Structure 1
Amino acid sequence: MQRSRDASVWAARGLLVFVTLVWGATFTLTKQALAILPVYAFLSLRFSAAAFATLGLAFLSRRGSAWKDARTWAVGATAGIPLGASFLLQTQGLRTITPGLSGFLTGLNVVMVPILASAITKRRPDARTWWGVVLACIGLLCMCAGTPLAGRFLGVAETFLCALCIALQIVVVDRWAKGLDAFAVAAVEVWVTALLTWVAALVARQWAPLADVRLWMQPVTWAAVLVNGLLGTAFALWAQNWAQERLSSAQTAIAFALEPVFAAAIGWVVLGEAMTWPGIVGGLLIVASMAVAPA
């Protein structure tokens, strides 16, 4: 029984590591797509792809009871609002900061999650979880060492708020989604986020580029939309909700701390961004943090 539980926990961790790899790749893809499309127009396409994918799967799957449960809709909507805000803020910030710095700032949710979870559940994380958080934060700090911040204050502020929204979404899923259908909750989150991005695009008057087929059919654009929408959103949210049935919110946040490691590595390979020794050490510390945190 214990062996089965341990295997399930490590499967959950492995799934989250794959999700962070996908997210790390999406930083570079998004940065390239934003050179072609405005922020909210791109996000509208991304979440439309995710929404259509999850809607199709919802019709094909046999989850009738999941959709009849009011809690599925309530939790999905509650988690979807900070999730949508996080993507809007993160993508907005990417206009003025590098993918590596964006990954670092987004990773700050690793320290925000235990604090928010403790405030809501009144339960303090154990010592090993805190050591994992500390190692992850030191690693994130190392990765940011020497990164110029001049002229990037707005992007830094937007991405910091993005990290706070991600922490809220993780805590909401941890606190209220357990026992619910992971796919159904993720689908509602996607639909709420898609609605938010379309509203943002309309309010900001960024809907016009969506009618220009030449823009969003460029290889970089549709590659970014499909990878972000299908893997980085629809699949990733299902994976997170499934994994959080087996992991705590703090353990999930520590796994997600690998995101800037992948973002920096892929940015180095694809965009030629500098990879420094402090950054490499920081990445190793984040990997170590996952080993320290309890399974």
Structure 2
Amino acid sequence: MSKRFWAEFGLLLVAFIWGTTFVVVQNAIEFLPPLTFNAVRFFIAGIILFIIYLLQEKGKITATGRQLLPGILLGICLFVGYAFQTMGLMYTTPSKAGFITGLSVVMVPLLTFLIYKNHPTPKTIMGSIGAALGLYLLAAKNSTGLSIGDGLVLICAFGFAFHIILTDHVTKKVPVLLLTTVQIFTVALLCAISAIVFENWKVVLQSSHIFSNTTIMAIIITAVLGTAFAFFMQMNAQRFTSPTRVGIILTMEPVFAAITSFITINERLSFYGIIGCILIFFGMIISELPIEKTIPFSFLKKRFLDRKL
């Protein structure tokens, strides 16, 4: 099987990990504020990756400043995603936040075209639209009107979209392990600073909070699997596939989250939610099918995508 197949299978595994850890994180932030929790989570993940990096380099730090900058930029994009999503959740519902965050799947091909002039293929356009519609049915159907929280979460979606696009641009130039390590430490630092400014971070010093079984389990799972492993896998996988396909595959995260919620806390999906999950799945499948040479797709490509702007 091709490297692209295994890369995209790895991204699907990442979506599975992030989706299944949603309930774990939701329980943990009852003990620690969100930014404080993320600071601890990303710092531990960074330590793990740094130790692996030192072992790989036989105890020597060989990175140059030029290699560190892309990781810092990726970390900033990732922090924007997490921070604005957290702030937005103070003023909007989780379902709307999930839908708006998922709009990054549509933003990625549009921003890729605007920045790099890369034309998205018809099948990736259809896959993106299908996934976005599925996200709407899964997360936002019958929700209330727009709020300031929705605007904050929209900024979050841009952060995640730019993270995917920039990752595609730099993973071919900088060692993946170094890139991931710098990025994770950057998020940890920015979350720590934000927690000091906006949250009661001193709860970390209270043993009843930091040493509770729920918190310890959540930190271990999210730091090791949901952060260190997942972001290393994403960085590595994006060397072999396109940013748009990454965005579509990662929309499976809320599907896995919905399945996990049903199994663990018996949270049931509505009819629209089930249809949304199906649309997301088919959006991912459409983006993978070798159907570019069929007549309708050839016509669309010739009519709309091959035109000189």
TM-score scaled to structure 2, two decimals?
0.86
CA contact (8 A) 1:101 1:147 kept: no
Question: Which amino acid is 1:157 matched to?
Answer: G
Q: Return the offset for 1:248.
A: 0.6
Distance 2:245 2:15 in 1: 14
- Name 2:168's counterpart in structure 1: 174
Distance 2:257 2:207 in 1: 29
CA contact (8 A) 2:67 2:174 kept: yes
1:110 to 105, 127, 143: 105
1:23 to 14, 18, 27: 18
Distance 2:142 2:207 in 1: 37
Distance 1:200 1:66 in 2: 29
Gaps of 5+ in 1: 1-5
Q: Return the offset for 1:96.
A: 6.0
- Name 1:143's counterpart in structure 2: 138
Distance 2:272 2:244 in 1: 25
Task: Determine whether 1:206 maps to 2:207.
Answer: no
Distance 2:119 2:228 in 1: 31
1:280 to 247, 268, 274: 274
Q: Return the offset for 1:252.
A: 0.5
Distance 1:211 1:178, change over 3 A: same
- Aligned partner of residue 169 in structure 1, secondary structure: helix
Q: Return the offset for 1:29.
A: 1.7
**Matches of residues 69-108 of structure 1 in structure 2 within 5 Å?**
69-94=64-89, 100-108=95-103
Distance 2:154 2:217 in 1: 27
Task: Determine whether 1:125 maps to 2:120.
Answer: yes
Higher radius of gyration, 1 or 2: 2
Question: Which amino acid is 1:52 matched to?
Answer: I
Distance 1:132 1:63 in 2: 44
Question: Which amino acid is 1:58 matched to?
Answer: Y
- Aligned partner of residue 21 in structure 2, secondary structure: helix
- Name 1:3's counterpart in structure 2: none
Distance 1:32 1:178, change over 3 A: same
**Matches of residues 183-202 of structure 1 in structure 2 within 5 Å?**
183-202=177-196
CA contact (8 A) 1:75 1:177 kept: no
Distance 1:166 1:14 in 2: 20
Q: Return the offset for 1:44.
A: 1.6
Task: Determine whether 1:164 maps to 2:164.
Answer: no
Distance 1:34 1:70 in 2: 35
Question: Which amino acid is 1:108 matched to?
Answer: L
Q: State, as a whole percentage, how many aligned pairs show the same letter.
A: 30
Question: Which amino acid is 1:267 matched to?
Answer: S
- Name 1:264's counterpart in structure 2: 258
- Name 2:63's counterpart in structure 1: 68
Question: How many residues are matched?
Answer: 289
Distance 1:73 1:250 in 2: 25
TM-score scaled to structure 1, two decimals?
0.89
Superposed CA deviations along residues 216-238 of structure 1, whole A, max 9, x for unmatched, are 11121122212222211111111
CA contact (8 A) 1:17 1:256 kept: yes
CA contact (8 A) 2:33 2:199 kept: no
Task: Determine whether 1:216 maps to 2:214.
Answer: no
Gaps of 5+ in 2: 290-309
CA contact (8 A) 1:24 1:266 kept: yes
Q: Return the offset for 1:271.
A: 3.4
CA contact (8 A) 1:117 1:171 kept: yes
Distance 2:45 2:26 in 1: 19
Of 234-243 and 175-184, the range deviating more from structure 2: 175-184
Question: Which amino acid is 1:8 matched to?
Answer: K
Question: Which amino acid is 2:7 matched to?
Answer: A
CA contact (8 A) 2:130 2:282 kept: yes
CA contact (8 A) 1:109 1:164 kept: yes
Distance 1:139 1:260 in 2: 10
CA contact (8 A) 2:176 2:235 kept: yes
